[in-house]
Structure 1
Amino acid sequence: MAISISLQCLGLIILAAVLLQTIAVAISFLYFNKVLNTMQESFSRSSVSCLMNANLRSDFKYPAEDEKKSDPCWQVTQQLHYRIEKTMADRFQKEISTAMRNKLTGVLPILTPAVPLPEVAAHVTGITSSREPPAAEGSRSSRGYLGERIRAWEGQRGLSFLQNMELRGGELLVPRAGLYYIYAQTYFRLPSTGETEGESGEAKEEEGAQLVQYIYKKMSSYPVPILLMKSSRSACWPRGQEPGLFSLHQAGTAHLQPADRLFITVSNATTMEMDGRASYFGAFLVG
């Protein structure tokens, strides 16, 4: 019986100790929480006070190094200045980058395209330095196509580019099956009658010129090239001393297979101007 009473007393003592300890911890937590809130509020007021009373004039005298470490106002203002300078520097860098990119886009658009290039695409241009006109290659019966073939195309420099396509002998090699958008433009310079001599000039003036541009597809499984598109116009030989300037442009879609080849032929190839901004052709995969 005595042992049972002793155990009950011991349990009550332990329970009382636990309760007292819990109460002490709770009181300590509330006290320190109140002290922390008071310190935060005091620091906030002092920070605002520092900012309101800060002297930002040019004749402001900076404190000594020892005073800087012990002065909370100095630390607050320094952190604020650092944040402002970093924000302004980041914004300035972003604006400068955008301005430079826009400037380069206007001067060199091929270096910074507004939109990403298609996965499969090519744009080839005429070679201005090439003064030799395309040579005639016989009749249609032996070649399988009309006009005179253009072989002098630039695919790497200037405004031209090749994106997963190849340029071989003036032909664009198709790497993948799909629907392609194909386009071409050729530029012609017809000499004026003042540049011709005698009766030949009169004959040219009367007859005029038929300018025709063809886009052909050549398949490995078919011996004769297939005409995809053509564009034409009738032009009179210009009178006087100024030459006549004409251009032909055409575009359309066609379903192509791997290893198909695209090339351009024209009539009156000797009058064609190979300026890269006036004579060009290309294709890109649309689906």
Structure 2
Amino acid sequence: MAISISLQCLGLIILAAILLQTIAVAVSFMYFNKVLYTMQESFSRSSVSCLINANLRSEFEDSAAEDKKSDPCWQVTQQLHFHIEKTMADRFQKEISTTMRNKLTGGLPNLNPGFRGAPLPKVAAHVTGIVSSTETPAAEGSQSSRGYLGERIRGWEGQKGLSFLQNMELRGGELLVPRAGLYYIYAQTYFRLPSAGETEGDAKGEMGETKEEEGAQLVQYIYKKMNSYMVPILLMKSSRSVCWPQGQEPGLFSLHQAGTAFLQPADRLFITVSNASSMEMDGRASYFGAFLVG
């Protein structure tokens, strides 16, 4: 009987000890959690205070002092300063690299596929004038020995400035068609006729009429060549009758034409003009091109 009572007392003592230990652990956890929260809140407030009240420039200038390096507020402002400096340096480097790249690649951007968010047609080309290059002119009103009228223009640019080639090739002044389909074809040529002062002293014609009185016929032709047919086929032509300028200023004229034609793979497009010696090969005024529409 006495042994049973002793065991019960021992069990109660052990249970009480476990309960007290549990309470102590819970109280300790709550205390340390409160202390940690207080420290975090204090640090956060001090960091915000640093950002609001600190003078970044003065802090940076005084950064050499040893006592500043141990100040948490100084450390926060220094980290912010270095982050801002790094961000601005990276952005400046990116802008400088873009500017230098554009300067080295030319004054005008290339109109590559997808430029400025507007994708080009799957097959397209726009070539511009550079240096005039012509063949021997045909007799006016007659077919030349090569099967076309006018003087052929070979001096086209396909890669720089405003020009581009999208799945088309430029060979010897000809645009090579890569696939069959309906194409929209266009061309413009720009002419500069000399003034009366520049032509003074020219010989008169047999009927006594001067060159200025005779006037000039400006004609532009768009031809295509086929591998299965030896003679080039005339697709379009545009013409204009002009008078030679009588004043001191030269006469400026342009011819433009456009239309559609069904082309086969390996067909080639080229331009011929009358009075090729008077043609100005300015890339913004003399150009031609084509693109697939269906």
Q: What's the TM-score once normalised by structure 1's chain length?
A: 0.71
> Which whole-Å deviations, capped at 9, do the CAs of 1:223-242 have from their partners, x for residues lacking one?
44333332221111222454
Give 1:262 deviation, angstroms: 0.6
Give 1:34 deviation, angstroms: 2.5
Of residues 240, 244, 247, the one that matches 1:237 is 244
Which residue of structure 2 aligns with residue 185 of structure 1? 188
- Conserved? CA contact 1:193–1:202, under 8 Å: no
Which residue of structure 1 aligns with residue 8 of structure 2? none
Q: Which has the higher mean CA deviation after the structures are superposed, 186-195 or 112-121? A: 112-121
% of aligned pairs identical?
79
Which residue of structure 2 aligns with residue 4 of structure 1? none
- CA distance 1:137–1:35, change in 2 (3 Å): same
Give 1:172 deviation, angstroms: 0.8
Which residue of structure 2 aligns with residue 202 of structure 1? 209
- Conserved? CA contact 1:104–1:112, under 8 Å: no
- CA distance 1:187–1:109, change in 2 (3 Å): same
> Which whole-Å deviations, capped at 9, do the CAs of 1:234-262 have from their partners, x for residues lacking one?
11122245432211122344443321111
- Conserved? CA contact 1:216–1:225, under 8 Å: yes
Which residue of structure 2 aligns with residue 47 of structure 1? 47
Matching of residues 90-129 of structure 1 within 5 Å: 90=90, 92=92, 100=99, 108-111=107-110, 115=116, 118=120, 119-128=122-131
Matching of residues 1-287 of structure 1 within 5 Å: 29-51=29-51, 54=54, 58=58, 61-62=62-63, 64-65=65-66, 67-90=67-90, 92=92, 100=99, 108-111=107-110, 115=116, 118=120, 119-128=122-131, 130=132, 133-137=134-138, 139-140=142-143, 143-156=146-159, 159-194=162-197, 195=199, 196-199=202-205, 202-286=209-293
- Conserved? CA contact 2:134–2:151, under 8 Å: no
- CA distance 1:240–1:97, change in 2 (3 Å): same
Give 1:213 deviation, angstroms: 0.9
Q: State the SS of the aligned residue for 1:108.
A: coil
Q: Which amino acid in 1 is paired with 2:74? A: W
Give 1:137 deviation, angstroms: 4.5
- CA distance 1:136–1:52, change in 2 (3 Å): closer
Q: Which has the higher mean CA deviation after the structures are superposed, 162-171 or 36-45? A: 162-171
Q: Which amino acid in 2 is paired with 1:153? A: W
Distance 1:45 1:61 in 2: 23
Q: State the SS of the aligned residue for 1:46.
A: helix
- CA distance 1:252–1:19, change in 2 (3 Å): farther
Q: Which amino acid in 2 is paired with 1:41? A: E
Alignment gaps of 5+ in structure 1: 1-13
Give 1:268 deviation, angstroms: 2.9
Give 1:112 deviation, angstroms: 7.4
Q: State the SS of the aligned residue for 1:198.
A: coil
Distance 2:236 2:224 in 1: 10
- CA distance 1:46–1:245, change in 2 (3 Å): closer
- CA distance 1:41–1:253, change in 2 (3 Å): farther
Alignment gaps of 5+ in structure 2: 1-13
Give 1:188 deviation, angstroms: 2.0
- Conserved? CA contact 2:110–2:161, under 8 Å: no
Distance 1:140 1:17 in 2: 121
Q: Which amino acid in 2 is paired with 1:198? A: K
Q: What's the TM-score once normalised by structure 2's chain length?
A: 0.69
Give 1:78 deviation, angstroms: 1.4
Distance 1:133 1:262 in 2: 16
Q: Which amino acid in 1 is paired with 2:203? A: E
Q: State the SS of the aligned residue for 1:234.
A: strand
Q: State the SS of the aligned residue for 2:38.
A: helix
